[in-house]
Amino acid sequence: MTPMSSIGRLKDGNATFVAHPEAALPITSERRMELAKGQTPFASVLSCADSRVPPEVVFHTGLGDLFVVRAAGQVTDRSVLASLEYAAEHLHSPIIVIMGHESCGAVKAAMDTPATKSLGVNLDYLLKSIRPAVTASAAEPESSRLRVAILKNVEDSLNDVVEGSPLLKKMLNDGEIGVVGAYYELGSGRVHFSDAVIKTPAGAHK
C-alpha cells in the first residue's frame, strides 16, 4: 500500500467506528492462523497510552493491520524510535501516524505542574518532553489552551520521530514512507488528520 491509500483505509475504518461503534472488529480464526507466518501492517501508529484511545478499535482494524507503539503523551524515546524503525524498514509499513487525543492527561499534567516541582525522575522526563508544547500555547485562551497544547505536542512528537531517527528521515526523504499527525475526539470517536508529509522520490514523476 502507499502512504495515502493507508491513510484512506484508516479514515474508512474510523468512519465505521464513529457510525457503528458496536460493530465487531474484523477478526477471524483464519486470519489469526495466517498471521502466524508473519505480519505486514498497513500503518504504524504512535499514540498515547490512555485506555480510552486503543488505535485498533478507533480505526476498526483486525489482527496484523496496525503496528502500534504507545506511551503517555506519545513521547518518543529510543525504544519508541527503534520500534517505528522496525515497522518501516523490516515490515514495510508505509505510513507513521502520530496520534494525540482530547483531554490528554499527560499534557494536562505538564500544564499544571511547575517546572521546578519534581514528580520523580520518570515523570519529570515525560513532562519535560511535553513542556515545549505547553509553552507554545501559553497565549491561548484558557478554554482552548489544552487542545492547542495537545495539537502542538503531536507536531513536536512527529518532528521528534523524524529528526530523532536518521533511518526514518532517510526513508521519508526517499519517498518510502509518509508521516501524519492525528487528533482523536473522545466523545465523538472521530479522528482528525493533519496534512501528511509524503515526499516524491528523487527522479520519480509526480
Q: At what angle do helices 142-164 and 166-173 cross, to 10 degrees?
A: 90
Tens of pLDDT, residues 112-161: 999 999 999 999 999 999 999 999 999 999 999 999 999 999 999 999 99
| Structural domains present in the chain | 3-193 (3.40.1050.10)
- For the chain, give the mean pLDDT: 95
pLDDT, average across residues 78-96: 98
Tens of pLDDT, residues 169-179: 999 999 999 99
In the predicted model, is pLDDT for residue 202 greater than 70? Answer: no
Answer yes or no: are the C-beta atoms of 127 and 153 closer than 8 Å. Answer: no
* The model's pTM: 0.94
pLDDT recorded at residue 201: 67
Contact partners, residue 130, CB within 8 Å, separation at least 6: 73, 75, 106, 107, 110, 153, 156
The angle at the Cα of 115, spanning 155 to 108, to the nearest 5 degrees, equals 50
pLDDT recorded at residue 199: 87
Q: Enter the C-alpha cell of residue 36.
A: 502466524
pLDDT recorded at residue 31: 95
Alpha carbon 176 to its chain centroid, in Å, reads 18
Q: Is the dihedral of CA 50, 51, 57, 63 positive or negative?
A: positive
Q: What span, in angstroms and rounded, lies between the C-alpha atoms of 66 and 124?
A: 30
Q: At what angle do helices 121-136 and 142-164 cross, to 10 degrees?
A: 110
Tens of pLDDT, residues 11-26: 999 999 999 999 999 9
